[in-house]
């Protein structure tokens, strides 16, 4: 599941982190019963409070879609250099994704 996307997160806002179309790296089938977590690291490698092993739950009747909610208490400093680590385990298969993340003030 290669990606060059950047995720943008907003401090002091509830928001959803979503993984779409989680598939087996072996046979390409959708993974609908995986254990999926996300952890946000700051530019110095420290774990950001509120996004530490955040559970992403399977969206019923979807093809490999998982969502987790970040609470409004999320409040890291605005800036770049953050990385969102997403890990999934399903049926003996592992998935690891690292997405660059930007923290910015919500304007609308």
Per-residue confidence (pLDDT) for residue 39, from 0 to 100: 98
Domains and CATH numbers, the chain: 7-103 (2.60.40.10)
The Cα–Cα gap between 27 and 49 comes to 36
Report the side by side order of strands in the sheet with 7-9.
7-9, 93-103, 79-90, 35-41, 54-58, 66-70, 15-19
User: Mean pLDDT by 10-residue block, N- to C-terminus, for the chain (108 residues)?
Assistant: 75 94 94 97 96 97 97 94 97 93 92
């Amino acid at each position: 599941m290669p990606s060059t996307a950047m995720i943008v997160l907003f401090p002091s806002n509830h928001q959803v982190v979503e993984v779409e179309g989680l598939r087996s790296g072996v046979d390409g089938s959708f993974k609908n019963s995986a254990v999926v977590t996300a952890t946000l690291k700051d530019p110095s490698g420290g774990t950001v409070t509120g996004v530490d092993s955040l559970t992403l739950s399977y969206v019923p009747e979807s093809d490999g879609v998982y969502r987790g909610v970040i609470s409004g208490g999320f409040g890291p400093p605005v800036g770049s250099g953050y990385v969102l680590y997403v890990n999934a385990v399903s049926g003996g298969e592992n998935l690891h994704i690292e997405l660059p993340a930007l923290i910015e003030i919500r304007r609308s």
